Amino acid sequence: MTIVYLTLGLIAIYLYVSSASLLWEGIDRKLVARMQRRMGPPILQPFYDFLKLVSKESIIPRDANKLFEIAPVLALASSIALLAYTPLGFEPLLATKGDVIVFIYLLGLIAFIRVIGAVSSGSPYAQIGAQREIIMLASREVPMMLGLFAILWRLSKLGVEKPFSLGTFYQYNIWEIGTPLTIVGTFVLLIVFLLWLASEIEVGYFNIPEAETEVAEGPMAEYSGRHLALFKLSNALKEFASASLVVAIFFPWGISGYIGLTGIAAMVLDLVFHTLKVFAVLFVSMSVFRAITGRLRITQAVGMFWSRILPMSLIGVLLLVIDVLGVIA
Amino acid sequence: MTLPFLVILPLFGAFSMPIVSLLGKKLKEYWAVIISGATFAVAAKIFYTVWKTNEIILYTLGSDNPIGRGVNFPIRIVWEVDLFGALLALTITFVGFLAIIYSLGYMKHDTGLEKYYTLVLVLELGMLGIVVTGDIFNFYVFLEIMSIASYALVAFRNDTWEGIEAGIKYMFVGSLASSFILLGIALLYGQYGTLTMSYLAIKIAENPTLVAKVALAFLIGGLLFKSGAVPVHMWLADAHPAAPSSISAMLSGLVIKAGGVYAIARIIFSIFNPGLHTYLRTFNAPAINMDVIGWVIVFFACLTLLVGNAMAVVQTDMKRLFAFSSVGQIGYIMLGIGIGVLAYGTRAGELALAGAIYHIVNHALIKALLFLVAGVVIHEVGTKNLNELSGLAKRMPLTTFFFIIGAAAIIGLPPLNGFASKWIIYESSAMYNPILAAIAVVGTVFSLAAYTKVLFTFLGKESERVRDAKEPEKSMLLPMLILVVAIIVMGLLPWQISDKIMIPAAKMLEQLNGEYILALLKFIGGA
């Protein structure tokens, strides 16, 4: 029976997260428009876009191979699988010890499938976009993994039942430790994660692979119709899942405990509260960042990751480590 | 008793091949398929028996008792098959069978096929002999049978310059390595007067002399060459691309395992058992310090996995890239064995050995698949230069799919079989020494880069060369399909396989209680 419940839960989460993430896209577009003194589209615009794309004819380039058509499906499938490992205000559905690696793997896999789809299209624009995407992928994951593993390692010292699971954030959170070094270190890591989130969803400085004006949508150059719709949806899911990770690490508090709810009602309430927190994080990392910064060149972005963000992550991690090992009392 | 048929069948097949080939053109090919299929069945039976009973099979040639009349030491050739040997025999016959089916289509345009099939069966025979034997000179004979068959097969297309060049290079240095091994065996025989591995183990433990250490050095040196470890890997990078692809699949999947890492593991754990020598040292008795051997192997393993994978990144020849990747993967296997020696008797050591054994099997399947894919590409397009191949995916979707599965499995992506074995090796090396795990991960990063490069040539825009390529015939697709199914199925049950097969195999190889020796001793003491 657990398998049946898990499947039903996953379907429910999938439906919820797809509507929530598309809703956020609408809010984001509205907010950015207001920041630029425009009216902007209606809040539900992404839903209309999605339906329109689904109903449009999908054009397959002459040079494309089978993977061109399979890649959007695979990308969506990996995003849905990712949801089963995403903390959404409560423990992930398939929380188990070490599931953080699956989370990172699936997140990377979605980007990689996009690249495969792009390369399979045979278009040079898509090829350039794909190369940039791979370069960004290789640069951005290192500081994130370093920070994530350090925090999980720190939490596992507190005696959790499933070490290195994303579920541990709901048992202990990193602020609880409360020593000055940890707080400073966590704060540094928070900045790292906000920058990572911006590059993961490719906005602001890091809108490089998709750069509309330079390489005509990059990896997505040849996609149209329902294939594009699938990619847009999987991107929206990925956006939500990445932001959920940041929320779970740094702001895992729920409100159901204060009200005294339990069971399903508590889960629903926590999910809604979690969604609000995700929107708040995305507001900082996506809307504001997108509105106030321009795009970097690919070399500058890679340089920024390796020479600014990685050292920043290292400093944050070292502060956590020094605190645990008690080098300075 | 099915064990002798493991060697009798391919021997019979090889020797009857010249006569069978007189009877008909097609008959010799079917004969080879039948023989290798029957050998596979025998190996499966033996594997099942050993796995079920969890006991070492001891078989004496020419008698039912290895002990001579009136003496109390073994005078006959014995074969000892533990789970590790049986597992390798199963892998060898499986991949060999598929490679022979593949040859039906792949070798169609070549001449001298009766020699080809004879040599393939002899190659299989040599490898099977290595994994079943319990006699060190017998081991050498089978090693030479395997080596000479592979020299001949590498140079089989003797109208191409690269076949001859690679064959000569492989033969000259290979013979030197074999002579090192023979020298090691001669030294051991001169010092201890016996050639039976288990009895040799007792004799060496009784009186570990300098000669034993020198012999061990010669044996390890020769066998590192045969496994393609780094300072002596140059033959491999030439031999694998030059051989016909069905042979590359066997060379890379099997020969470097059976004649290389299997033999190293067998000699270290069965003749110079680390546990036995540590035990002796606790009594201040003279003993060989096996930690030194462990560190030597770990050192070469780290070198191998870094250099092999890094060299794979810069190749432009598809088969050469796969060959360097094989060198890199041998590094992982040796890392597992090395840690198995260093951390002998601990949880980390046992896991490392299980990981190494698991990776031997997984890499045999994956690399066989990849070389068969490369063979299809060469057969259909006529080039293996990655710069000329682009956009194969459109004309050869199935082959591309097989390649993607193989590449993903060798990098170690989770739903496929390469993940579990590499994970166990990472985990155990991290348990023993985190620096070794870090080196292993760096190797995987290189391997990821190399295979991503090949993947992008398979996809992408179609080049002129591949415009009229098409899928190969069924006899070439079928073996690849079977390998893909095996890779996926093994990938779905990683921990079950690890617990049920690999850990018991590692335990039997480790022989904490000297089981390998006891299997012989029960004949001596009458106990």
Q: Is residue A329 scored above 60 in pLDDT? A: no
The reported pLDDT for the residue numbered B385 is 85
- B328: amino acid identity, one letter: G
The reported pLDDT for the residue numbered A31 is 92
- Do B512 and B275 touch, CB atoms closer than 8 A? yes
* pLDDT-wise least confident of A200-204, A259-263, B473-477: A259-263
pLDDT digits (tens, 9 = 90+) for A97-154: 888 889 999 999 999 898 888 888 877 788 888 888 888 888 888 899 999 998 888 8
Mean predicted confidence (pLDDT) in B469-488:
90
- pLDDT bucket at B150, cuts 50 / 70 / 90: very high
Mean predicted confidence (pLDDT) in A86-91:
86
Distance in angstroms (rounded) separating the CA atoms of residues A31 and A39: 9
pLDDT digits (tens, 9 = 90+) for B340-349: 999 888 888 8
The reported pLDDT for the residue numbered B414 is 83
Mean predicted confidence (pLDDT) in B192-213:
88
Q: CB distance A67–B393 less than 8 Å? A: yes
Average pLDDT, chain B: 89
pLDDT digits (tens, 9 = 90+) for B360-397: 999 999 999 999 999 998 888 888 888 888 888 888 88
Q: CB distance A119–B400 less than 8 Å? A: no
The reported pLDDT for the residue numbered B527 is 42
Find the CB nearest A120 among B414, B452, B459. Answer: B459
Q: CB distance A102–B394 less than 8 Å? A: no
Distance in angstroms (rounded) separating the CA atoms of residues B68 and B502: 36
* A90 closest CA partner among A158, A169, A20: A169
pLDDT digits (tens, 9 = 90+) for B273-293: 888 888 888 888 788 888 888
The reported pLDDT for the residue numbered B152 is 93
Torsion angle (degrees, nearest 10) of CA A42, A47, A51, A54: 130
* pLDDT-wise least confident of A108-117, B129-138, B149-158, B389-398: B389-398
> From chain A, which residues contact B within 8 Å (Cβ)?
63-67, 102, 105, 116, 119-120, 122, 124, 127, 134
Which chain B residues are Cβ-neighbours of A116 within 8 angstroms? 455, 459
Most A-contacting residue of B389, B461, B464 (CB-CB within 10 A), to test interface: B461
pLDDT digits (tens, 9 = 90+) for B101-129: 999 988 888 888 889 999 999 999 999 99
Q: CB distance A65–B456 less than 8 Å? A: no
User: How far A84 CA sits from the closest chain B CA (Å)?
Assistant: 16
pLDDT digits (tens, 9 = 90+) for A232-257: 899 999 999 999 999 888 888 877 77
User: How far B356 CA sits from the closest chain A CA (Å)?
Assistant: 22
Q: At what angle do helices A2-35 and A66-83 cross, to 10 degrees?
A: 100
**DSSP letter, residue B228:** T
Mean predicted confidence (pLDDT) in B428-438:
90
In percent, the amount of chain A with pLDDT more than 90 equals: 32
Residue of chain B nearest A109, judged by CA positions: B413
The reported pLDDT for the residue numbered B384 is 82
Q: At what angle do helices A45-55 and A225-250 cross, to 10 degrees?
A: 140
The reported pLDDT for the residue numbered A328 is 60
- pLDDT bucket at B230, cuts 50 / 70 / 90: confident
Q: CB distance A119–B456 less than 8 Å? A: yes
Q: CB distance B460–A120 less than 8 Å? A: yes
In terms of phi and psi (left: phi > 0; alpha: psi -120 to 50; beta: otherwise), the region of B110 is beta
Distance in angstroms (rounded) separating the CA atoms of residues B486 and B36: 18
pLDDT digits (tens, 9 = 90+) for A33-78: 999 999 989 999 999 999 999 998 888 888 788 888 889 999 999 9
Q: State whether residue B441 sits within 8 Å of chain A by CB.
A: no
pLDDT digits (tens, 9 = 90+) for B486-518: 999 999 998 988 889 898 888 888 887 777 888
- Do B259 and B147 touch, CB atoms closer than 8 A? yes
- B12: amino acid identity, one letter: F
Residues with Cβ within 8 Å of residue B401, at least 6 apart in sequence: B484
* pLDDT-wise least confident of A30-34, A65-69, B249-253: A65-69
Q: CB distance A102–B414 less than 8 Å? A: yes
Q: Is residue B50 scored above 60 in pLDDT? A: yes
Backbone φ, ψ for residue B471 (5° rounding): -65, 145
Cβ-based neighbour number of residue B321 at 10 Å: 25
- B470: amino acid identity, one letter: K
* pLDDT-wise least confident of A276-280, B2-6, B129-133, B460-464: B460-464
Q: State whether residue B400 sits within 8 Å of chain A by CB.
A: yes
Distance of CA A153 to the CA centre of its chain: 21
User: How far A133 CA sits from the closest chain B CA (Å)?
Assistant: 13
Mean predicted confidence (pLDDT) in A176-202:
87
Q: Is residue B242 scored above 70 in pLDDT? A: yes
User: How far B479 CA sits from the closest chain A CA (Å)?
Assistant: 23
The reported pLDDT for the residue numbered A214 is 63
- Which of A145-159, B47-61, B142-156, B443-457 shows the highest mean pLDDT? B142-156
- Do A106 and A141 touch, CB atoms closer than 8 A? no
Distance in angstroms (rounded) separating the CA atoms of residues A88 and B342: 44
Q: CB distance A66–B397 less than 8 Å? A: yes
Distance in angstroms (rounded) separating the CA atoms of residues A322 and B380: 60
- Do A68 and A61 touch, CB atoms closer than 8 A? yes
Q: Is residue B29 scored above 70 in pLDDT? A: yes
The reported pLDDT for the residue numbered B223 is 93
Average pLDDT, chain A: 86
- Do B432 and B505 touch, CB atoms closer than 8 A? no
User: How far A320 CA sits from the closest chain B CA (Å)?
Assistant: 20
Backbone φ, ψ for residue A94 (5° rounding): -105, 35
The CA–CA distances, whole Å, from B267 to A188, B196, B302, B317 equal 53, 12, 21, 36
Which chain B residues are Cβ-neighbours of A102 within 8 angstroms? 414
Q: CB distance B391–A66 less than 8 Å? A: no
Q: State whether residue B459 sits within 8 Å of chain A by CB.
A: yes
The reported pLDDT for the residue numbered B327 is 92
Which chain B residues are Cβ-neighbours of A119 within 8 angstroms? 456, 459-460
Most B-contacting residue of A60, A62, A65, A145 (CB-CB within 10 A), to test interface: A65
- Do B361 and B87 touch, CB atoms closer than 8 A? yes
* B195 closest CA partner among B146, B277, B140, B258: B140
Which chain B residues are Cβ-neighbours of A67 within 8 angstroms? 393, 400, 459
Which chain B residues are Cβ-neighbours of A105 within 8 angstroms? 413-414
Most B-contacting residue of A110, A119, A134, A149 (CB-CB within 10 A), to test interface: A119
Give the SS3 label for residue B93: helix
Q: CB distance A127–B413 less than 8 Å? A: no
Q: CB distance A105–B455 less than 8 Å? A: no
Q: Is residue B263 scored above 90 in pLDDT? A: yes
- pLDDT bucket at B300, cuts 50 / 70 / 90: very high
Backbone φ, ψ for residue B374 (5° rounding): -60, -40
Which chain B residues are Cβ-neighbours of A122 within 8 angstroms? 391, 460-462
